[in-house]
A and B are shown apart, each in its own frame.
Chain A
Amino acid sequence: MNLALILFASIITSNIALTYFLGMCPFVSISKNIRVASGMGIAVTIVMTVTASANWLILNKVLIPMGLQYLQFLVFIITIATLVQIIEIFLDRFSPALYHAFGIFLPLITVNCAILGVSLFAMLRVYTFWQTVAFAFGSGIGWFLAIIAIGGLRKKLMFADPPENFGAAGITAILAGIMALAFIGFTGIASL
């Protein structure tokens, strides 16, 4: 599939948060604050691109030639945990300001299902290396876009009066649903 098409589809029509529901926990819990949400969004985009490419290389150059595909989940999660640590060490060494800005988010990303999910989707759809990179980068941007948008919508909620029983999580789900409808409206242009 065309790289530009994959990039567009993964950002808008097949958005990782709104159509595959990945990375929902931070989506509900930290989207109250746009500044925090954008920090998380940038971190997710970087880590997603790096780990999906690394996992593609490991799967296709190491595991498949050796016939060890059944270990893929274990290897994927170890790769992600290791790479997150390495990125953390590099950031601490070369850009302490950025490192402190990310704070707790980098270690938390290890257990973010969106990161593992992108590696798994790339594997299930048998993408080539550059398709994987485009898909992972697009998904990261798409997640970033979705969490910023929901953060903005939740800010407006301060002036609204939804039923009390919804709670924070319920009303966020309804907002996300309305947003997902808007994103799905583009499906005719391109979808994965």
Chain B
Amino acid sequence: MKEAAGLKVPQKGYRLFKTKNWTVFVEGLWHNNPIFGMILGLCSALAVTNLMANALVMSLAVIVILVVNSTIISILKSVIPERVRMIAYMLIVSTLVITVDLMLKIFVPDISRALGPYVALIITNCIIMGRAEAFAINNPVGLTVSDALGAGMGYGFSLMTIAFFRELTGFGSLFGFRVIPESMTPAALFSIPPGAFFALGTFILIINAIRRRRAQ
């Protein structure tokens, strides 16, 4: 495991921070973050970030599917024939997505309708496939769970940050509660599709600036 630059591993302190699991987790959460590190899974990051509630539900759905999918693949890695592994991944992830989609339809019907096809599109989300192919297929279960949690929470962190600024500027609210005074008109640009691109571009710019400063 390479010691990533800028990763502050305390010499003294909690033992948790020095374990391999933690390094793998931080790797997915920050250094190889799906959105700004590897530029994967942008479709949903752009589409569902207009409201924080949508982004939260979407992030939770992705985290659950990613962790369960990676775990199943890690357990079955000696059983899955190498030549048909892609098809095996797809069948597993489709089954999980059907389950999660039905649960969302039951428990949060309004948000499920707002998310539209984007929950089903988790099937073709590059993050799920990428983690399965790059990590789960040749690593033990424990490490795989840390890796999937790191990548999933990294995705969630990016989505929630973008959604925070898009909802605040586009609607003047957070989780549906109005926070800016009624007399101020929100900048509707950030609630429509072009605003999503601007928000994502700016987010990547800021994160890269922070990463560069920390690397120095």
Which residues of chain A have a CB within 8 Å of any CB of chain B?
A: 18-25, 28-29, 70-71, 73-74, 77-78, 81, 111-113, 115-117, 120-121, 124, 163, 165-167, 169-174, 176-178, 180-181, 184
List of B residues within 8 angstroms of A167 by Cβ: 204, 208
A-B contacts, 17 of them at CB < 8 A, read A21-B44, A22-B43, A23-B43, A25-B42, A25-B43, A28-B39, A28-B42, A74-B91, A74-B94, A77-B123, A113-B121, A113-B125, A166-B205, A170-B202, A170-B204, A177-B198, A180-B197
Which residues of chain B have a CB within 8 Å of any CB of chain A?
A: 36, 39-40, 42-44, 46-47, 87, 90-91, 94-95, 97-98, 101-102, 116-117, 120-121, 123-126, 129, 192-198, 200-202, 204-205, 208-209, 212
The answer to whether A20 touches B47 (Cβ under 8 A) is: yes
Interface of B is mostly: helix
List of B residues within 8 angstroms of A81 by Cβ: 87, 90
Smallest CB gap from A121: residue in B = B117
List of B residues within 8 angstroms of A71 by Cβ: 98
The answer to whether A174 touches B201 (Cβ under 8 A) is: yes
The answer to whether B129 touches A111 (Cβ under 8 A) is: yes
CA distance A120 to B43 in the complex (A): 15
Taking a contact as CB atoms closer than 8 A, the residue among B90, B116, B204 that contacts A77 in the complex is B90
List of A residues within 8 angstroms of B129 by Cβ: 111
List of B residues within 8 angstroms of A169 by Cβ: 36, 39, 204
Taking a contact as CB atoms closer than 8 A, the residue among B40, B47, B101, B124 that contacts A112 in the complex is B124
CA distance A116 to B91 in the complex (A): 15
A124 with B43, Cβ < 8 A, contacts A74-B95, A111-B129, A165-B209 known: no
List of A residues within 8 angstroms of B201 by Cβ: 166, 170-174, 177
CA distance A77 to B98 in the complex (A): 12
List of A residues within 8 angstroms of B40 by Cβ: 25
List of B residues within 8 angstroms of A78 by Cβ: 90
List of B residues within 8 angstroms of A18 by Cβ: 193-194
The answer to whether A73 touches B94 (Cβ under 8 A) is: yes
Query: How near does chain B come to A164, taking the closest CB pair, in angstroms?
Result: 8
List of B residues within 8 angstroms of A172 by Cβ: 201
The answer to whether B204 touches A21 (Cβ under 8 A) is: no
Taking a contact as CB atoms closer than 8 A, the residue among B39, B44, B126, B193 that contacts A180 in the complex is B193
The answer to whether A124 touches B117 (Cβ under 8 A) is: yes
List of B residues within 8 angstroms of A163 by Cβ: 205
CA distance A171 to B101 in the complex (A): 34
Residue among B42, B94, B117 having the largest count of chain A Cβ atoms under 10 Å: B117
The answer to whether A165 touches B212 (Cβ under 8 A) is: yes
Smallest CB gap from B89: residue in A = A111
